[in-house]
Structure 1
Amino acid sequence: MSESSPQGILVCDKPQGLSSHGVVSRIRRWYGTKKVGHAGTLDPMATGVLVLGLGRGTKLLTYITGVSKTYLATIRLGSSTPTDDADSGPDCFAVPADLATVDTPAIEAAVAKLRGPIDQVPSAVSAIKVDGKRSYARVRAGEDVQLKARRVEISSFEIIDIRFSAADGHIDVDVEVDCSSGTYVRALARDIGTDLGVYGHLTALRRTRVGDFELDQAVTLPADLDTAPPALMPLAEAARTFLPVVTVRTEQAIALMQGKVVATEGSSASADSVVAVICDDVLVSVAEVRRDGGLKSLTAFAIDLA
């Protein structure tokens, strides 16, 4: 890979109707490079923060994927869809009399049950692999897929607005969700609908935060990719947003990239933690702090320190 090729992190505002892979394809054309990846898929219906890595930035994506996220969403009560969102049409509908009994306290109580650590069954139409094959592919092939529950953390789940449209056969609930990586917001909509006995799915989803990467940092993809692309966020700057930092001298950086254990000096990083190792404002490595205080590289970033 040429040193003149793009290197860094890009925070993108994914448009509706485009898959995360579709965004990657556009970014490849926009920056003229094949080395592009993303951290954390957004469904085609969803919009908002999608963090991309270019060049050596793809190595950093592994560590970005696991950070917490924030979403704005609209949950529609009164019907469900095969995908638990608006990417498919409703196939089950609430009995009007049952929907008429759903009031604000009932919705608030259902939301409250999903705060904190919960065991969530992901949506069957998801990218989770079952015996080596994507769950959504098995569902589309006609299989009955039953996924296992996973522990996730819903640190905040707040209702913004409730709009009752019983005459139209639905109730729309706008919410904001702070959650751990691996949480399916559309599964929250499904489970609230199930709890209330009236079905539920998402009609809108916008990711506003990935770790410390915020929506106001995000770049909008232009219609014309002949437009000059913006400068990328340097890897050291990006790593500082979600990892503790340990600064080393040049000789330590070289040793670390050679696979050697390097002693830390004056670092407050705790044992077994993962840190960004920076030398002269350049990201050298993502490393683990050993129990003896030494640093052991987990992912080295090939750079010239001569």
Structure 2
Amino acid sequence: MQELEGVLLVDKPQGMTSHDVVDRVRRKLGVRRVGHAGTLDPMATGLLMICVGRVTRLLEYLGQGDKEYSGTVVFGVGTDSDDAEGQVIAQASAKDLHLDAVREAASKLTGDIRQRPPQYSAVHVDGKRAYDLARQGKRVELPERTVRVRAFTLDGLQHEGEIAVARFRVVCSKGTYVRALCRDLGELLGVPAHMRSLRRLAIGSARIEDAIPLDDWLASDEPAFHLRDPLLYLDGLPLWHPSREAMERLANGQAVEVGEALALSPGDLVLVVYAGTVAAVGEAMDRKPAAVRPKKVFWKRG
């Protein structure tokens, strides 16, 4: 019997880790190979992309597109984790904060920016996760990284005593920490800030509207019905449709010329599609005429 495979779009509930969802999917489908693309913190809800079966080998290529989020930010209180689950480490009045000033500050956090990850993050420091060090009370200087924020908009600013709360929408590149954006927005405004809530709405071409709530999926009598073709979500990689002969050569580990059909630079990745499915991932070589060598092969002769 052929193992189930595909991409499952889940609407993750609050309070669960991404790994918790993977465990539930694994047990429901009776499939060992299950993974996720793009972690969501337990407090966050929304779109989680789950890969099943052989599709787990495509995890590094899925989830590469921009991500879209909505949520709320609190001005006047800062936490050690930059979100609502952390310990309060700073407080200041935000009662005089105006929406125009918030929006102007947010505009300075768009485009290609330098961002310092939160102390409680999965970034590696000397072989250890930053959040493990933070839980041990060890504060480390995490290096800044360049991320791209395509949109950072805010509205609905409301004052609640000494604090102010606003709704936000963010469209950003992979590797962007939205709670760090909230923290840095507060710094620009001269008040501490943290992220109160977060919901992921999109990962590349995958949308929350196409996801199924986890509880509904777990209660389904046909859970495999919701598995989708990974080709739908492999954004940004060029496609190449080889001949049968070329496919066999790739499967044997040989490089194959691709002609003028693809404009490739050395090191570029190519999705090799044969008989309507992802058959391999190839890598462009530094030679003329253009050629691709196999990086991962899924196709089996039949």
Deviations 1:105-156 (A, max 9, x none): 2211210110111110000100111111110000101111210000001111
Answer yes or no: is the 8 Å Cα contact 1:77–1:198 preserved in 2: yes
Distance between the aligned counterparts of 1:164 and 1:251, measured in 2?
67
Closer, same or farther in 2 for the Cα pair 1:111/1:9, shift >3 Å? Answer: same
| SS in structure 1 of the partner of residue 36 of structure 2 | strand
2:292 aligned partner: 295
2:30 aligned partner: 32
Q: Is residue 146 of structure 1 aligned with residue 144 of structure 2?
A: no
Which deviates further from its counterpart, 169-178 or 133-142?
Answer: 169-178
1:123 aligned partner: 118
| SS in structure 2 of the partner of residue 222 of structure 1 | helix
1:114 aligned to 104, 109, 115, which one? Answer: 109
Distance between the aligned counterparts of 2:273 and 2:220, measured in 1?
33
Deviations 1:58-94 (A, max 9, x none): 1111012432211112111010112111123434211
Distance between the aligned counterparts of 2:113 and 2:119, measured in 1?
18
**Kindly, what percent of the aligned residue pairs are identical?**
35
1:160 aligned partner: 155
| SS in structure 2 of the partner of residue 107 of structure 1 | helix
Q: Is residue 270 of structure 1 aligned with residue 270 of structure 2?
A: no
Answer yes or no: is the 8 Å Cα contact 2:204–2:233 preserved in 1: no
2:237 aligned partner: 243
TM-score (norm 1): 0.91
| SS in structure 1 of the partner of residue 59 of structure 2 | helix
Distance between the aligned counterparts of 1:257 and 1:284, measured in 2?
9
How far the C-alpha of 1:5 sits from its partner, in A, is: 1.6
Q: Is residue 196 of structure 1 aligned with residue 189 of structure 2?
A: yes
Whichever residue aligns with residue 90 of structure 1, its letter is: V
Point out where structure 1 has 5 or more consecutive residues left out of the alignment.
Answer: none
Q: Is residue 186 of structure 1 aligned with residue 183 of structure 2?
A: no
Q: Is residue 221 of structure 1 aligned with residue 221 of structure 2?
A: no
2:252 aligned partner: 258
Answer yes or no: is the 8 Å Cα contact 1:39–1:50 preserved in 2: yes
Distance between the aligned counterparts of 1:256 and 1:219, measured in 2?
37
Distance between the aligned counterparts of 1:226 and 1:215, measured in 2?
19
2:53 aligned partner: 55
Distance between the aligned counterparts of 1:111 and 1:31, measured in 2?
43
Which deviates further from its counterpart, 292-301 or 226-235?
Answer: 226-235
Whichever residue aligns with residue 46 of structure 2, its letter is: G
Distance between the aligned counterparts of 2:269 and 2:202, measured in 1?
21
Q: Is residue 284 of structure 1 aligned with residue 279 of structure 2?
A: yes
| SS in structure 2 of the partner of residue 64 of structure 1 | coil
Mapping of 1:88-99 within 5 angstroms? Answer: 88-94=86-92, 96=93, 99=94
2:170 aligned partner: 177
Closer, same or farther in 2 for the Cα pair 1:195/1:236, shift >3 Å? Answer: closer
TM-score (norm 2): 0.92
Closer, same or farther in 2 for the Cα pair 1:174/1:278, shift >3 Å? Answer: same
Distance between the aligned counterparts of 1:116 and 1:225, measured in 2?
40
Answer yes or no: is the 8 Å Cα contact 1:127–1:135 preserved in 2: yes
Closer, same or farther in 2 for the Cα pair 1:224/1:121, shift >3 Å? Answer: closer
Answer yes or no: is the 8 Å Cα contact 1:30–1:226 preserved in 2: no
How far the C-alpha of 1:192 sits from its partner, in A, is: 1.1
Distance between the aligned counterparts of 1:67 and 1:131, measured in 2?
29
1:100 aligned partner: 95
Point out where structure 2 has 5 or more consecutive residues left out of the alignment.
Answer: none
How far the C-alpha of 1:227 sits from its partner, in A, is: 2.8
How far the C-alpha of 1:281 sits from its partner, in A, is: 0.5
User: How many residue pairs align between the two structures?
Assistant: 297
How far the C-alpha of 1:265 sits from its partner, in A, is: 4.4
Whichever residue aligns with residue 131 of structure 2, its letter is: Y
1:43 aligned partner: 41
Distance between the aligned counterparts of 1:65 and 1:145, measured in 2?
29
How far the C-alpha of 1:170 sits from its partner, in A, is: 1.3
Closer, same or farther in 2 for the Cα pair 1:224/1:65, shift >3 Å? Answer: closer
1:304 aligned partner: 300
2:66 aligned partner: 68
